[in-house]
Amino acid sequence: MTFLFALFLAQASCASCHGEDGNSKIANIPSLAGQPEFFILNQLFLMREGVRPIESMKPLVKDLKDSDIDALAKHFAGLEPRPSGESIDPALVKRGSELAVTLRCASCHLPNFAGRQQMPRLATQRVDYLVHSMKEFRDNKRSGADTLMSNAVAGLSDADLTALAHYAASLGK
Amino acid sequence: MVLALLQSPPGFSPIDRTNEAASNQAANLAPHATPPTVTPLERLPLDKIKLPAGFKAEVYSFGHPGGRTMAIGSNGTIFMGTRQLGRVYAITNRDGKREVKVLLQGLTQPNGIVVKDGALYVLAINRVFRYDDIENKLDNPGPGVELTDKFNLPTEIHHNWKYVDFGPDGKLYVQIGSNCNICEVNPGIHGQIRRYNLDGTGMEIVARGVRNTVGFDWHPVTKELWFTDNGRDWAGNAGPEDELNRVATGQEGAFYGFPYCHAQGIPDPDIRKPNACAGVTLPAALTGPHSAGLGIKFYTGNMFPQSYRNVAFIARHGSWNREQEFGFDVVVARINGGRARIEPFMTGLLDEKTNMFYGRPSYVLQLADGSLLVSDETNGAIYRITYQAR
């Protein structure tokens, strides 16, 4: 019953922004397809708690029960991630791949950037959203599930973050 | 370069300077997740817990996901701080059972909690709140009195989830972590333990060169401050080991080595300096590689055998930056002057064969009857340890 409700919710509320198949076509809105189940669950909890306040999400998450969150997490984790169609710059991909080694991104997000547990999938994520998100961490506007991200991107320029985003988005499965 | 430094906010540190190849560790080590969901009673790992003869563990409370730090009010309410979930819990007693309520929510990493004169103090990174007469306002604590501007603590979040407690001098002692794994920090701002008057005035630096302490207590006899400190990551599976440190009387403001010198005198492989360990106060004891000693409390109760009088119980949260997991237990530190000897106490939550853990002891708290509470962040539970002579 709850799972059906979650499916209904996903289609009725989530799809208009995050895409019919969980792959966002809208700038600065993240794709959720193929994200680690725990990551989605955790973020919905943090949004509901007000730890990660996002105005457009507030009315959608405020009445979710734990079991709804669980079902939504399972739903999106099971969808197929697809590239956003944004243009990917090979020179930036190369620069980003070098930065990613220095910053040790793979230790949490895995070498293929598929993510795991509380760490999100970055591969095939929207470039604009990745840049937006990393800026929030860098500029101390978002604490995340762990504070390590604010440390990982500390002191990076916008150009560095853009390069990292192009690299991450360029990775497939 | 100078311009770049001038443009940086005060206290801002450069990013980590680690040599990942030199650490020779598996590349996929990562911090463990903390579930935001309730672990039901029947799934708590109580049967895994092992204790010395005569000691027994029971479940004191559960249903408070992510609960870590504990402070007790004069009416017996246990307050619990969390990290990422942003909640502060209040746990009360009714008819011999515990009731859990979410007292505050939506805070950023409110790990710093302490009760004094009926007021609950909550420190969430740089924000400071005081909730007066809190045990009579558990259903409606209100907004509290915000003291953030008075304390003016740094806003960087990494390694700055607070630990706070009141010292024997009545001052509020506050952790200010180093906001990186290993880097040069501004020593005037980061890597310290400070003390303040209750209103945020009179700041003094009690310890410097501290990477990240999230637990301290005062020896019941000498009244000296003892603190745990978490060693750096990505310098190998063997450590450098975490530390138990003492601030000797008259040595307030001493330097404990970060980022140049670790453990019993290991120069840092990445941040190099000639005579890296000169002038460094070395630890009273090492507490294990990546073991993450968090909470520490000296035992002053009458329930446990006499040999536990004035020992320190240390909760070791357990490793992540280590291929073979380590810690996930509570140890005893037996103090002898400026040295300490570490012994096992509560074990069993780490299965060394499968490299799996069942819970993460985070903080310890002594109750009035002399029993000991141990919080388990992963399972959102508190275990109570009692002793009965056989």
Q: Which residues of A touch B31 (CB under 8 A)?
A: 108, 118, 146, 148
A139 touches chain B (CB under 8 A): no
**Is the torsion defined by CA of A65, A70, A71, A77 positive or negative?**
positive
**Cβ contact A49–B106 (<8 Å):** yes
Q: State pLDDT tens for residues B177-212.
A: 998 999 988 889 999 999 999 999 999 999 999 999
Q: What are phi and psi of B88, to 5 degrees?
A: -120, 130
**Cβ contact B85–A45 (<8 Å):** yes
Q: Which of B146, B160, B224 is nearest to B189 (CA)?
A: B160
**Cβ contact A151–B15 (<8 Å):** yes
**Domain B48-387, second-level architecture:** 6 Propeller (2.120)
A169/B4 Cα distance (integer angstroms): 30
Q: Which residues of B touch A66 (CB under 8 A)?
A: 37-38
**Structure tokens belonging to residue B66:** 């992510």
Non-local (6+) Cβ contacts of B52 within 8 A are B345
A137: nearest CA in chain B?
A: B157
Question: For residues B329 and B344, is the Cβ–Cβ distance under 8 A?
Answer: yes
Q: State pLDDT tens for residues A122-140.
A: 999 999 999 999 999 998 8
Say whether the ipTM exceeds 0.95.
no
CA distance B101 to chain A (A): 14
Domains of chain A (ranges; CATH) run 2-77 (1.10.760.10), 90-170 (1.10.760.10)
At B6 the pLDDT is: 37
CA distance A66 to chain B (A): 8
Q: State pLDDT tens for residues B8-54.
A: 444 455 566 677 667 778 878 999 999 999 999 999 999 999 999 99
B208/B194 Cα distance (integer angstroms): 9
At B15 the pLDDT is: 63
Q: Which residues of B touch A156 (CB under 8 A)?
A: 15
Q: Which residues of B touch A140 (CB under 8 A)?
A: 155-157
pLDDT means per 10 residues, chain B with 390 residues, are: 42 62 80 95 98 98 98 97 97 94 96 98 97 98 97 92 97 95 90 97 97 97 98 93 97 97 96 95 98 98 98 98 97 97 98 97 98 98 95
Q: Which residues of B touch A50 (CB under 8 A)?
A: 86, 105-106
B143 touches chain A (CB under 8 A): no
B266/B259 Cα distance (integer angstroms): 11
A54 touches chain B (CB under 8 A): no
Closest CB from B16, B106, B109 relative to A151: B16
**Cβ contact A146–B31 (<8 Å):** yes
At B20 the pLDDT is: 67
Task: Please report where in the chains the tokens 């669950």 appear, as a residue.
Answer: A41
Give chain B's length: 390
Phi-psi region of B105 (alpha: psi -120 to 50; beta: other; left: phi over 0): beta
B201/B183 Cα distance (integer angstroms): 29
The domain locations on chain B are 48-387
B355 touches chain A (CB under 8 A): no
A37: how many CB neighbours lie within 10 A of its CB?
Answer: 16
Radius of gyration of chain B (CA): 20
Q: Which residues of B touch A150 (CB under 8 A)?
A: 156-158
**Structure tokens belonging to residue B297:** 């409390």
Which of B8, B111, B158 should one mutate to test binding to chain A, selecting the residue with the greatest count of A CBs within 10 A?
B158
B17 touches chain A (CB under 8 A): no
Across chain A, mean pLDDT equals: 92
Q: State pLDDT tens for residues A10-54.
A: 777 899 999 999 999 999 999 999 999 999 999 999 999 999 999
Closest CB from A51, A119, A147 relative to B106: A51
Q: Which of B354, B372, B348, B389 is nearest to B51 (CA)?
A: B348
Which of B7, B38, B157 should one mutate to test binding to chain A, selecting the residue with the greatest count of A CBs within 10 A?
B157
Non-local (6+) Cβ contacts of A64 within 8 A are A44, A48, A72
The band of A147, judged by pLDDT with boundaries at 50, 70 and 90, is confident
User: CA geometry: angle at B172 spanning B71 and B146, to 5°?
Assistant: 80
